[in-house]
Structure formats: structure tokens, C-alpha cells
Amino acid sequence: MPRESMELKPTFETLSILDEEGHLDRDLEPDLDDEELEELYRCMVRARRFDELLLEWQRSGRIGTFAPVTGQEASQVGAISATGPGDWFVPSFREIAAFLWRGGDPVDMTVFNAGWNEGVRIADDAHDLPIAVPVASQVPHATGLAYAAKLRETGNVVMTFFGDGATSEGDFHEAMNFAGTFELPVVFVCQNNHWAISVPREEQTASETLAQKALAYGMPGIQVDGNDVLAVRVAADEAVTRARSGDGPTMLECVTYRLLLHTTADDPSRYRDEEEVERWESRDPIPRFRDYLVEKGVMDEGRDEVIAEEVEASLEDVWSDAEERIEGLGGPEVMFDHVYAEMPPELTRQRERFSGIEAETAEPDEQPEAEDDEQPEAEDDDG
């Protein structure tokens, strides 16, 4: 056998439309109407503000650990805005901005972050999955949803989100390969935010880019400036169109940055330089997009402040609404709900016993009495 070189079909592209100073590449500018452009901006601002509030509530002990989105708003909003309501949204655990775009209620997310399962309940008519914490574990689900969409000819596509670290997991590779093999209508959105907790992107994989991993699975991969909402939107529109027209999956690598922490349990000062963070702060996706909108005449000077006020108003009651919801939630026996369609007899028995015990111990006022009652009895028995 002779030794020859074989050329691979080059489908790998990079894309940037709006640079760090907000300068536009007019040839690539997408044709979006003013209203939608403002909605993209509003959602990014709202996600950023909600993140700040969640962080405040976490620091004051009102909610538990969560993964902030700050810095990644353009990647999420740019991509998810290419989907329609019938399409599927398959998140990992940092998709606060995409969740809000899909119409997710910040009160639900707050209830969830305060430790209550009820907060993850998805609206009956939404094609959204709950957040998935184990890294990359949701990616095969997107592939399966897409298989079903194709088989059932629903015309819907699937978009799943994950991070740079997820591309090291077997689940990612298996799901990508599966989707490529069956030409499924799915868009894989990788948010390369440069850090998987403490491990930087370049130590996560020796690949020069993450987008190129798509090529091995026979699908187009594109690396976009993930802090440029227009670039992300254009790439996502193309990928969604490709999926919807039966031409198979696409992988987007959105190059962005996690400006805050992995989760609120994390301390980035242990492993990354503040200078790097500052460099990325200057590439913040929100002011860049605002400058573009003002330049384009979509927003007047001062319009951003009006939007900020409206966003504030839309979030000002979130905590009190969440508190009210939480007060109305069931007791600990709720943990027995939704394990099976029909509760098996043994589980029913466990719940009854559990509720009995809860009733005894949940009312501290009655405890001294109970102890007085029980002590002599027990002594009698013992004797």
C-alpha cells in the first residue's frame, strides 16, 4: 500500500461580526428587525441583573450554590434566540440567560436555588428540559430528542448547551458521533468560557479549537466570538436552518469568558490572574452590543437606562414572590412525590411512617410532653 495524504473536507470556519469596540462588519450583519435587536439586548441585561441578585441572595444565605452566567450572555441569547417555541432547549447548569429567553420564570429559578424541587418544574407547553448538573450528561438527551423529532417528523430542532470542560467527557463524544451518524436535527452549543473550575481551556484538550472536534463526527463546526451576540446569532440561525431542513447537526464553539466563579462554592483567586479577568471585562458582550444599537439608531441615547429600569422592575418582586411560593409548599413528605407514576406499596408505607414521625418531631412544643409520657413506659418495658 502506498503512503498518501488524504484531504479532509474543510468545513471549519470562524466568525466575528462586532469587534470589541463595537465596530461592525457590514457584510456579515444579520437582518434582524429593531424590536428583536432590542429584545436580545434586554434579555442579556436582565440575565446579568438576575445573576447579581442571585449572588446577593446566595451571599446572604437565602439561596444555595449556583453557577453565575455573567460574561456569557451573548453566547446564550445569541444561540437560543435562533430557536422557536416548538424547538427543544437542553441546558447544562449555567444557562440563566437562555432560560430567561425561553420564557423561564426567575421566581421558579429562585425557588430552585433556595433548595426546593418545585422550582425546576417546567411549564407544560414548554419544550425545555430541567438543568443537568453532571457535566455533558445532557448532550445525549439532545441527540435522542432530535432522533424522535426526525422520526416523528415534527419539524422541530434541538439545541443543547455545555461548556469547554464537557468536551472531555465520553457523553459528549458519543452523543456527537450518534447525531452525526444519523444526521439528526440538533445544534450543539459549546460555551468555551476558558475555565472548567480551575483547569484552563488549553489544559483541557490539546486540540487547537473545540469546534474542530465536530469534523471528526462528520458535521460542520464553527468557532464564533461568543461575546458578539450578532455572530452567535448568525451561526445559530445557519445551524438551526441546516437542522430543520434535514441536513444534520452542527457544533458551535462560542468563545467567551466566565467573568465570575464556577459556582458560588468556588474561589478563582486560587488559580487565575485578575489581569486575565480584566482583559475579558473589556470584551464584555453587553456594552459592545449597546454601542452597536445606539450607533445603528435602534436605541436612542438613554434608552439603555430605561431598559435597565424596566428590567429592574421585572425582577424587584422575585425574592418576595419566591418567599411566598416557598411558604405555600408542602412539607418534607413532598420528597416522596414523582418517584413513580404510581407509588409502590412499600414506598407508600415508608411515606406514612415518615409523615407520622415528622408530625411528632416537627412540633417542638409537644416534645417535652411526649418525653414525659414515653420515659416511664420505656423504663417499665425495659425493667
Partner 1 sequence: MAEMTMVEALNHALHHEMDQDASVVVLGEDVGEDGGVFRVTDGLIDEFGEQRVVDTPLAEAAIVGASLGMALNGLRPVCEIQFSGFSYYAMHQIENHVARFRWRSRGRFHAPMVIRMPYGAGVRALEHHSESKEVFFTHIPGLKLVAPSGPRAARALLLSAIRDPDPVIFFEPKLLYRKFREDVEEEEETWPLGEARVVREGDDLTVVAWGAMLPRTREAADVLAEEEGAEAEVIDLVSLAPLDHEPVAESVRRTGRAVVVHEAHRSFGPGSEIVARIMEDSFYHLEAPIHRVTAPDVTVPFFARENAYLPTKERIVDAFRSVLET
Q: Select from 20, 25, 53, 64 the one that contacts partner 1 (CB under 8 A).
A: 64
Contact between 90 and 159 under an 8 Å Cβ cutoff? The reply is yes
Return the ∠ at Cα 121 (arms to 54 and 97), rounded to 5°.
40
Dist CA 256 CA 285 (whole Å): 9
User: Which of 191, 297, 290, 235 lies closest to 17 in space, CA to CA?
Assistant: 235
177 binds partner 1 (CB under 8 A): no
- Contact between 269 and partner 1 (CB under 8 A)? no
Residue 379, interface with partner 1 (CB under 8 A)? yes
| CA dist., res. 213 & res. 171, Å (int) | 14
Decide if 360 contacts 370 (C-beta within 8 A): yes
User: Mask of contacts with partner 1, 4-43, x by CB under 8 A?
Assistant: ----------------------------------------
Chosen residue from 305, 346, 365, 369 binding partner 1 by CB under 8 A: 346
Q: Does 276 bind partner 1 (CB under 8 A)?
A: no
Measured in whole angstroms, the distance separating CA 61 from the mean position of its chain's CA atoms is 23
Span from 33-41, 95-103, 111-119, 244-252 in contact with partner 1 (CB under 8 A)? 111-119
Query: Which of 32-40, 107-115, 243-251, 315-323 is the region at the interface with partner 1 (rule: CB under 8 A)?
Result: 107-115
3 is known as an active-site residue? no
Is there a catalytic annotation at residue 338?
A: no
d(CA 203, CA 381): 66
349 is catalytic: no
The active-site residue, picked from 23, 59, 121, 271, is 271
Rounded to a whole number of angstroms, the minimum distance from the CB of residue 356 to partner 1 is 10
Within the chain, where are the H helices?
34-59, 73-80, 96-101, 106-113, 139-151, 170-181, 201-204, 213-216, 229-244, 274-281, 285-296, 303-315, 318-327, 345-361, 367-382
- What's the CA gap between 234 and 143, in Å, rounded? 22
Nearest distance, CB of residue 138 and partner 1, angstroms = 12
Q: Is 96 in the site for partner 1 (CB under 8 A)?
A: no
Residues forming the site for partner 1 (CB under 8 A) = 64-65, 93, 112, 114-117, 119, 133-136, 165-166, 168-171, 196-199, 203-205, 263, 265-266, 270-271, 326, 332, 334-336, 339, 346-347, 350-351, 354, 357-358, 360-361, 371, 374-375, 377-379, 381-382
